[in-house]
Amino acid sequence: MVKKRVPDWLNNSLWYSRPPPDDERILRYASRYSDPEPTAEPPTPAAPSGDPPRPEIVDSARDRDGDGNGVLESPSAEEISRQSQLLAELSSKVVNMRELRRLASQGIPDGSRIRPVVWKLLLGYLPPDRAIWPSELAKKRSQYKNFKSEFLMNPSEITRRLEKSANGDNDEIKRQNSGLLRRSGITHGDHPLNLVASSIWHQFFQDAVIIEQIDRDVHRTHPDINFFSGDSQYAKSNQEALRSILIVFAKLNPGIRYVQGMNEVLAPLFYVFRNDPDLDNAAAAEADTYFCFSELLSEFRDNFCQQLDNSVVGIRSTLARLSELLKQHDEELWRHLEVTTKVNPQFYAFRWITLMLTQDFDFGDIIHIWDTLLSDPEGPQETLLRVCCAMLILVRRRLLAGDFTSNLKLLQHYPSTNINHLMYVASKLCSKHSG
Amino acid sequence: MVLVLALGDLHIPHRAADLPAKFKSMLVPGKIQHIICTGNLCIKEVRDYLRTLCPDLHVTQGEYDEDTRYPETKTLTIGQFKLGICHGHQVMPWGDLDSLAMLQRQLDVDILVTGHTHQFTAYKHEGGVVINPGSATGAHSSVTYDVNPSFVLMDIDGLRVVVYVYELIDGEVKVDKIDFKKSTAPPSH
């Protein structure tokens, strides 16, 4: 099986078909309303609000002849065979996870439309035994519904429900027509100005800060993609879903609550599940996404916890491992970066790792990269480090020629590149390492 | 779920130095969306303090207020409810239900908040409610020294309002509540 190999001279900024993404990214976060990106590959226009728009993400991986004209070429023979192998795996009674992971790590063909199911299997949401899928799904989805009703209720409603269960449904309010209103005792000794920690009102006001942050971030997620932002009913319902998922997660994980950036990690998951061709699954995408997001974050949770920053499991040590990896495979580049120009991985790789590259590639590319990341049996972190290393190696020529400022600028606004080539280099790092 | 604080008759600095400490510790910024003040603050500093709790402050003219530019009555709409504010010294006899009901009909509001008597009361009258939050500082009124500091917090949620009454009795804060539901049919006039 021969993967397309991009010759070295092609790995040069002269050949990139689209303009550098620097300005767009700055614009994107400077204002909520940004103009559509002036890309050479126009995204397919969204259908009018009401119907879910066709997936509008056009990614460079499918653009095999590199001409950037946005036409999706028909899948190669190799992709077709992989697709049929994947379908075969998924139709067997008990899915062979090892085989599935091996196949998925090479990328899941877009046309097959099985990505949602494969991701759910890879993240452990669906068990390998296909027979119990319906019951598992039903259980999890109702669990999520309970979470939502528990956490998303405001204290007024909670008080009302408590009262109803305590006093029965007698509507004493109706009885009086005139005269002094009767005073009654407060439910459970709780009132809005209560400063006691166990008061639901007090907790509500404390959570209000986090919820505000979540709201802000959800509105800022991918403003250029109609699925996430804009005035359509569809976009609004998607934002609502993202918001609910993040709030439930923050409430159930008081250890890390919500950290800025989680919305970015959540976005591709929700997008993939919501665009599931199976309509039942698409309707329940919110619940499924919540559990998969939980699962995914449990792997990376240590990166978000500030207290663990300097420990063995924290982000610092992860960055150190990236350095080690680079040193192993490309000592010259490592020396130039860390010693000569003093470009510490903290300056560029922090975002790559904690956000799983969601900020550095186009949405379509991210989904392809995540195919490989999620299929790693040891967890996404290992593959992620290899991909980061590959990212560095691919631009080594420019890095070696640059100083601190230009290298930092390059790495913080990583130039768009052929994803297939990137993943190939990353996989080669793996075999070299084990070899 | 909108929280509205109703208080009045503080009479600072003439009859009281400040709000009771226990009240002050409970009133923190960020929780309350609107403040309704029946009047008799009396000085500008009190108004500034209330404004730090919540930027949306509505005050009506009390007879001892140093600032004479407040309106005599005020109406506002919060959610599904129309609220009216008046200090109450204009309505004779002071604190009389029927006279206040006239004022309520005149302003065409669901909840009328008045003060002046320095006693907490809550009347229901023909689909509307008249609330007197009492005096937040416990200042003596025109007729008596026997005044407990009190104020009112309304939780307006759709067609329901839960009125939380905070009173300082013997140095302890006592909280009670009153439920009121607005009838959906508009009252015939």
Give the pLDDT confidence score for residue A16 in this predicted structure.
Answer: 52
Q: Is the pLDDT score of A17 beyond 60?
A: no
Task: Verify that A216 and A115 share a domain, yes or no.
Answer: no
Give the pLDDT confidence score for residue A79 in this predicted structure.
Answer: 75
B176/A64: higher pLDDT: B176
Q: pLDDT digits over A305-320, tens only?
A: 777 777 777 778 888 8
Q: Which two tokens stand for residue A249?
A: 């997660």
Let me know if residue A33 belongs to a domain: no
Give the pLDDT confidence score for residue B131 in this predicted structure.
Answer: 92
Q: Which residue of B has its CA nearest to A159?
A: B162
Given B129, B155, B178, which is nearest A184 (Cβ)? Answer: B178
Task: Verify that A199 and A316 share a domain, yes or no.
Answer: no
Task: Verify that A138 and A249 share a domain, yes or no.
Answer: yes
| CB-based contact, A60 to chain B, within 8 Å | no
Mutation site for A-interface testing, chosen from B4, B19, B26 by largest number of A Cβ within 10 Å = B26
Task: Verify that A313 and A343 share a domain, yes or no.
Answer: yes
Q: Which of residues 28-57 of B touch A (CB under 8 A)?
A: 28, 30-31
Among candidate residues A270, A299, A328, the one where a domain is terminated: A299
Lowest mean pLDDT among A40-54, A220-234, A357-371, B29-43: A40-54
Give the pLDDT confidence score for residue A75 in this predicted structure.
Answer: 60
A236/A41: higher pLDDT: A236
Let me know if residue A411 belongs to a domain: yes
Residue A290: phi, psi to the nearest 5?
Answer: -60, -50
Q: pLDDT digits over A26-36, tens only?
A: 444 444 443 34
Q: Is the pLDDT score of A172 beyond 60?
A: no
Q: pLDDT digits over A185-211, tens only?
A: 776 677 888 888 788 888 888 888 888
| CB-based contact, B5 to chain A, within 8 Å | no
Task: Verify that A141 and A107 share a domain, yes or no.
Answer: no
Among candidate residues A251, A267, A299, the one where a domain is terminated: A299
Chain-chain contact of B166 with A183 (C-beta, under 8 angstroms): no
Let me know if residue A236 belongs to a domain: yes
Q: How confident is the model at residue A5 (pLDDT cuts 50, 70, 90)?
A: low
Q: Which of residues 142-171 of A touch B (CB under 8 A)?
A: 154-157, 159-160, 171
ipTM of the complex: 0.81
Q: pLDDT digits over B139-171, tens only?
A: 998 888 999 999 999 999 888 888 999 999 998
Q: Is the pLDDT score of A161 beyond 90?
A: no
Of B170, B30, A91, B37, which Cα lies nearest the Cα of A99? A91
Q: pLDDT digits over B12-61, tens only?
A: 889 999 999 999 999 988 889 999 999 998 899 999 999 999 999 999 99
CATH code of residue A87:
1.10.10.750
Chain-chain contact of B162 with A159 (C-beta, under 8 angstroms): yes
CATH code of residue A407:
1.10.472.80
b/e map A176-207, b = 16+ CB within 10 Å: eeeeebeeeebbeebbbbbeeeebbbbebbeb
For residue B121, the SS3 value is strand
Which positions in chain A touch B30 (Cβ < 8 Å)? Answer: 205, 208
Task: Verify that A249 and A315 share a domain, yes or no.
Answer: no
Which whole number is the average pLDDT over A401-405? 85
Q: How confident is the model at residue A82 (pLDDT cuts 50, 70, 90)?
A: confident
Mutation site for B-interface testing, chosen from A169, A193, A201 by largest number of B Cβ within 10 Å = A193
Give the pLDDT confidence score for residue B73 in this predicted structure.
Answer: 93
Let me know if residue A181 belongs to a domain: no
b/e map A288-299, b = 16+ CB within 10 Å: bbbbbbbbbbeb
Task: Verify that A326 and A272 share a domain, yes or no.
Answer: no
Task: Verify that A198 and A226 share a domain, yes or no.
Answer: yes
Task: Verify that A227 and A293 share a domain, yes or no.
Answer: yes
Q: Is the pLDDT score of A47 beyond 50?
A: no
Q: Over pLDDT 90: what percentage of chain A?
A: 1
pLDDT averaged over every residue in chain A: 75
CATH code of residue A258:
1.10.8.270
Let me know if residue A88 belongs to a domain: yes
Give the pLDDT confidence score for residue A353 in this predicted structure.
Answer: 85
Q: Which of residues 174-233 of A touch B (CB under 8 A)?
A: 174, 176-187, 189, 191-195, 205, 208
A380/A180: higher pLDDT: A380
Let me know if residue A34 belongs to a domain: no
Task: Verify that A281 and A325 share a domain, yes or no.
Answer: no
Which positions in chain B touch A183 (Cβ < 8 Å)? Answer: 122, 165, 176-178
Given A159, A171, A193, which is nearest B31 (Cβ)? Answer: A193
Among candidate residues A264, A279, A299, the one where a domain is terminated: A299
Q: How much is the pTM?
A: 0.72
Domain extent at residue A291? 133-151+187-299
Task: Verify that A145 and A269 share a domain, yes or no.
Answer: yes
Give the pLDDT confidence score for residue B87 in this predicted structure.
Answer: 92
Count of structural domains, chain A: 3
Task: Verify that A268 and A339 share a domain, yes or no.
Answer: no
Q: Which residue of A has its CA nearest to B123?
A: A180
Let me know if residue A206 belongs to a domain: yes
Which whole number is the average pLDDT over A300-304? 75
| CB-based contact, B166 to chain A, within 8 Å | yes
Let me know if residue A339 belongs to a domain: yes
A182/B168: higher pLDDT: B168
> Could you give the count of Cα atoms lying within 13 Å of B161 in the half-sphere of its Cβ?
28
